[in-house]
Amino acid sequence: MCGIVGYAGDRQALGVVLEGLSRLEYRGYDSAGVAVLTEGKIAWAKRAGKLGNLTSALKESPPLPGTVGLGHTRWATHGAPTDPNAHPHTDCDGNLAVVHNGIIENFAELRDELKAGGHLMTSETDTELVAHLLEDEMAAGPAEDGSLATAMRSVCQRLDGTFTLVAVDVRDPGVVVGARRNSPLVVGRGDGENFLASDVAAFISFTKDATEIGQNQVAEIRAGEVTVTNFDGSPGAVRDFTVDWDAEAAEKAGFKWFMAKEIAEQPRAVAEALVGRVGKDGRLVLDEMRLSDEELRSVDRIVVLGCGTAYHAGMIAKYAIEHWAKIPCEVALASEFRYSDPILTKSTLVIAISQSGETLDTLMAIRHASEQHSRVLSICNVKGSSIPRESDGVVYLHAGPEIAVASTKAFLTQLIACYVLALYLAQVRGSMYPDEIAMALDHLRAMPNAVEEVLERMGPVRAMARELAGERCVLFLGRHVGFPVALEGALKLKELAYMHAEGFAAGELKHGPIALIEPGLPVVIVTPPPADMPVLHDKIVSNIQEIRARGARTIVLAERGDEKVAPYADTLIELPPVPPLLQPLVAAVPLQVFACEVADIQGHDVDQPRNLAKSVTVE
């Protein structure tokens, strides 16, 4: 949440910062602002609303020249999305500017103290008090070394909560100082220029060389130098990495929406998520699996954690893990996990699924698990992010950047990573024969083509979106792995089309939700493959009949050639035949397309739905 960019180099900072913000806007779009160190003072501009409001205002105002600057795009926490609450925030004398991502929990007491000390607050934000705390530290400067970094280290030690802070000060020109605790911050290392950002997308068109900033660290970037220290002033240990995708990957490439592009990219993303998973000896290898075979053999229980779409991927992972690896597995919402007093031992393996690797609910959940001595394995997309850094092992998705707020290609590649991990566990623990694993891998390798086939046949889904765009409510039903797909379809429709949408396990219908069925209500049903799951298939056909008897309009996703279910479908969406456990990879796609189309028809911003942000770095 909130996108942050800082720059020190020889280019005009404003252009670099605005370009970075345009790539980070998916993190929050309630307001945007910039500040540039210019001729011994700070020039700044900020506007409520999307970045476009700020860029239009900048076109009409005098230029902000200077080669050191910062910028921010906001997802509001403290205070409404207004001009005064937009970042950057300045101190009383306008000597420094600061931007922030996160929540400062001891906000009220610090604000009272600052007010009592005569500071004038002009916003409702928690961020502004950091500007005033830095002001006091800089005023006391001579006692220390008078540097902004020293002031920042000292202020950070007074803050409770989560934060990434980035600041500039006229009294310490040439440097941009960043700090982080439980919120993301990376450095981009260029030639004679350096960057600070919430994620690498901000500087990818300038450099691919990056450095992870650790927990409780301060980074100082100058044109030719990067220095990292811990909050206590000791040298900070960091890890360099190279970004493995290009700037073009973060462009729309002719698509109207990033989401549409990311849906279309799924066959390739699924294929790439499988690359390099098999060694020369035919055995599965996982890139950053830092857990030994012995440790994995000692696991007696698995808990999969995630939020939103990642949680749905986790629900599907449970089926694969229990079926293939024969390890008892449960799935929990990361946001609920640590408050449920979970039983965790050193034989429990916790698997955290997160596209961004920064979701605070998930990060806090894995910290809790680590404190109880459980092993943590993460399934993440963004390299250099907090969750993989704090895990005992990582399976990366290799999906490239996902910019649209609604997750699509990350979901499919999370599923691939879960399947591969389940097979890996089966291999290590001997719960499957090598030829069975090889066959399952062959099925996975066929999935990019199957997803492609689904995408080529989206005509009926688009037609259905046009027909249903005016509806107020849509229900989604599924059984077995089709149930999480139903939940995912409903989530996509809610977040993009702002429509009331609910997913149910089809068998639960008669225990209450069937009361919602009324004539004409659209109900989407994910049908299991008839040959491989005959019992469940028959049951879902009965469920469909029950809702049709009450007037529902049935939209049935079913395997091509499924003649048993076809007569009960008002709209039939055919899926290519795939093994039952892998069906979510093909069944989720029409639901993504449906939600994207409905939102587009309704005139919503598909990539930046209201109230949401891509990377949820507050609890």
Residue 18 carries which side chain, given as an amino acid letter? L
Per CB under 6 A, 266 contacts ligand F6R: no
Residue nearest to ligand F6R (CB): 308
Report strand pairing: 522-526 vs 68-74: unpaired
Q: What burial class does residue 436 get, using C-beta atoms within 10 Å of its C-beta: 0-12 exposed, 13-18 middle, 19+ buried?
A: middle
Between 457 and 500, name the residue whose CB sits nearer to ligand F6R. 500
Per CB under 6 A, 413 contacts ligand F6R: no
> Smallest distance from the beta carbon of 484 to ligand F6R, in angstroms?
12
- Beta strands per DSSP E along 307-436: 329-333, 348-354, 375-380, 393-396
Binding characters for ligand F6R, 281-320, by CB under 6 A (x = yes): --------------------------xxxx----------
> Smallest distance from the beta carbon of 19 to ligand F6R, in angstroms?
23
Between 352 and 541, name the residue whose CB sits nearer to ligand F6R. 352
Q: Measuring CA to CA, which residue among 557, 246, 558 is closest to residue 401?
A: 246
Per CB under 6 A, 355 contacts ligand F6R: yes
The dihedrals phi and psi of 262, each to the nearest 5 degrees, come to -70, -30
> Smallest distance from the beta carbon of 495 to ligand F6R, in angstroms?
6
d(CA 70, CA 97) in angstroms, rounded, equals 9
Selected binder of ligand F6R within 31, 77, 266, 359 (CB under 6 A): 359
Q: Residue 528: CB partners within 8 Å, gap ≥ 6?
A: 479, 480, 482, 536, 537, 540, 580, 583
The C-alpha angle with vertex 589 and arms to 557 and 288, in degrees rounded to 5, equals 130
| Contacts made by residues 470-474, CB under 8 angstroms, sequence distance 24+ | 471/499, 471/522, 472/499, 472/500, 473/499, 473/500, 473/501, 473/502, 473/516, 473/521, 473/522, 474/499, 474/500, 474/501, 474/521, 474/522, 474/523, 474/524
Q: Choose one: 356-364, 393-401, 534-542, 594-602; the region binding ligand F6R (CB under 6 A).
A: 356-364
Between 432 and 490, name the residue whose CB sits nearer to ligand F6R. 490
Q: 248 is written with which tokens?
A: 């073009």
d(CA 410, CA 606) in angstroms, rounded, equals 17
> DSSP 3-state assignment of 534?
helix
d(CA 267, CA 362) in angstroms, rounded, equals 28
Please give the size of the binding site for ligand F6R, defined by CB under 6 A. 15
Per CB under 6 A, 395 contacts ligand F6R: no
Question: 486 to 505, contacts with ligand F6R by CB under 6 A?
Answer: 491, 495
Binding characters for ligand F6R, 172-211, by CB under 6 A (x = yes): ----------------------------------------
Q: What burial class does residue 515 get, using C-beta atoms within 10 Å of its C-beta: 0-12 exposed, 13-18 middle, 19+ buried?
A: exposed
Say whether 2 is catalytic: yes
Selected binder of ligand F6R within 356, 527, 543, 554 (CB under 6 A): 356
Residues in the chain: 619
Between 186 and 406, name the residue whose CB sits nearer to ligand F6R. 406
Between 31 and 617, name the residue whose CB sits nearer to ligand F6R. 617
> Smallest distance from the beta carbon of 410 to ligand F6R, in angstroms?
6
**Catalytic-role residue among 2, 329, 380, 596:** 2
Say whether 383 is catalytic: no
Between 356 and 608, name the residue whose CB sits nearer to ligand F6R. 356
Q: 201 is written with which tokens?
A: 């997308």
Distances (CA, A) of 166 to 5, 91, 150, 414, 446: 8, 14, 13, 32, 46
> Smallest distance from the beta carbon of 409 to ligand F6R, in angstroms?
11
> Smallest distance from the beta carbon of 364 to ligand F6R, in angstroms?
12
Residues forming beta bridges with residue 396, ordered by sequence position:
380
> Smallest distance from the beta carbon of 145 to ligand F6R, in angstroms?
39
Between 127 and 386, name the residue whose CB sits nearer to ligand F6R. 386
Instruction: List contacts with ligand F6R (CB under 6 A).
Output: 307-310, 354-356, 359, 362, 406-407, 491, 495, 615-616
Catalytic residues: 2, 614
